[in-house]
Amino acid sequence: MQKIYYLFITLFVLLHTTFAQENPSKKIEIVYAGTLTIDNDKYPGATIFNSDQERKVQFRHQGMDIWCDVAVLYQKTNQVKAFGEVFIQQGDSLKMNSEFIEYNGDTKVAIAKENVKLRNEKMTLETQELFFDRNTQQAYYLNYGKIFDEENVLTSKEGRYFVGPKKSQFTTQVKITNADFVVNSLTLDYYHATGHIYMFGPTTITGKEYVAYGEKGYYDSKTEKGYFMDHARIDYDNKILTGDSLYFDRFKSFASGTNNLIIRDTLNKTLVKGHYGEVYKAQDSMYITKKALIISEVEKGKDSIYIHAKKILVTGKTGSRIIRAYTGARIYKTDIQGKCDSIHSSQITGLTRMIRNPIVWSGKSQMTGDNIHILANKQTEKLDSLRVFDNAFLIEKDTLGTGFNQVKGKLLKGKFKENKLNNVNLYQNTEVIYYAYNDEHSLVGINKSKCSQIRIDFAPTQQIETITFYKDVDGAIYPEDKISKKELLFPNFNWRGDEMLKSKEDIFPEEEKNIQLVPIHGIKSEEIDLIEEKLQPKVDN
């Protein structure tokens, strides 16, 4: 009886195998079984196969093999249910273990359950239920899973693995854990061969020295560099970077941003803006251009200094910072404003140097010269003094008439009191044209004099209050009708009151206020697989 039973199994397997060979695209092939039974009460229309001491039950279907302890085959529907230490292998690389699997030979879809492990040469996927579609060569889970590769552990509520490109696609509660960083995301793609991450939803990457956020972008988990878009932000070296597009490279200690870039230096209470900028951690420096602006908080938050130029470079550690602003530089503070070609400002000395064609407005006064230095008190951060070197020229518009008070000399030294210009002294070849009034505000005459030194004291209203002449005074007060219009202006007179920066909004010239930006779109999602496919051979080699 036993011989007949085994003969029946052998004939069943042979007949089924022959039929499967005639229909290789359809039927599931039985490769080996120890015993065969039929239980229509429990499995109507099915054949039950059991393993023996020598081998497990084995099935094959179009390049995929299934091994298990017990299998239930439904011939009419071309389905098999496998139980107990189930093992699947497709080709040489893809392998899967589970306690149960249901496979449909017509749809070529497998459902694996209980302690599922899907493996290839670079990664292992673990979950409790996994769907594997052989048509699309995709495996996916809907209720939490975990993937391990050489360097990262990836978990998510929902995930999909693409066999061809060796890509994992994660959605909902995504987390990647690495020895050096952690990624938390809503949606991302991960390429196992390269370690590249592509973000398609809110994503935060927390490294040992940085935190990066973006809702679209790319990150290389092997080199810790990438770019971030859509509400992008990087917290790095006591600085917070935001912008339309941010780039970061941990090992080069470098970060950059493009379009609407803002760098908040929390340690130095400084805000830097522009449409392109770079941060170098090792050099403790920043570079900014394209509508560049730096705003430094002074006087314990009571005021701020605004500096603009085509390019701005900030270097040095806290307490020894240097700001360099090049080409078309402008400076604005509530009580002093200016323009020049370049600005050099040192936190060490408190000195701000205005270089080439400088002009400064303080209160009602306009000052020009070959070079201008402004010194701040390092402790209080208030304005202390001012120097104008060579061809110093101070102009104040007469408030009661149409003329201009003018003082010129080789050198000008000014002193501030509570950030307002209190007095100035001019030295060497000094000259003055000054409209003198009596107490009834009637014009007495025009003082036109020369001497070795002139001191001007300013009223709290910032208007000239008194003028004192020292040494070798030569001049007089002339009636207005006794002086020609030409004599009322010194040579090289140039009143530029219309250029004065009346508010912080005037820090930018008109041509930069409405600068047109080139939109940044990033890599199109449909191009990513092609890019990674080209990178694959380089990684393998």
Domains of the chain by residue range: 338-508
* Residue whose token pair is 């080996």: 32
pTM of the model: 0.83
Could you read off the pLDDT of 360-372 as tens digits, one per residue? 998 889 999 999 9
Could you read off the pLDDT of 481-506 as tens digits, one per residue? 888 888 899 999 999 999 999 999 99
Contact assessment for residue 246 and residue 214, using Cβ atoms and an 8 Å cutoff:
yes
8, pLDDT greater than 50: no
Could you read off the pLDDT of 298-343 as tens digits, one per residue? 877 788 999 999 999 999 888 888 999 999 999 999 889 999 999 9
Lowest mean pLDDT, pick from 20-24, 344-348, 412-416: 20-24
How many whole angstroms separate alpha carbon 233 and alpha carbon 211? 8
Contact assessment for residue 99 and residue 117, using Cβ atoms and an 8 Å cutoff:
no
539, pLDDT greater than 70: no
* Helix, strand or coil, per DSSP, at residue 314: strand
Q: Is 221 left (phi over 0), alpha (psi -120 to 50) or beta?
A: alpha
Per-residue pLDDT, 538: 54
Could you read off the pLDDT of 349-396 as tens digits, one per residue? 999 999 999 999 988 899 999 999 999 988 888 889 999 999 999 999
**What confidence tier does 537 reach under pLDDT thresholds 50, 70, 90?**
low
Contact assessment for residue 386 and residue 374, using Cβ atoms and an 8 Å cutoff:
yes
* Helix, strand or coil, per DSSP, at residue 494: coil
Contact assessment for residue 375 and residue 384, using Cβ atoms and an 8 Å cutoff:
yes
Mean pLDDT of 290-301: 87
**What confidence tier does 56 reach under pLDDT thresholds 50, 70, 90?**
very high
Is CATH 2.170.190.11 the classification given to domain 338-508? Answer: no
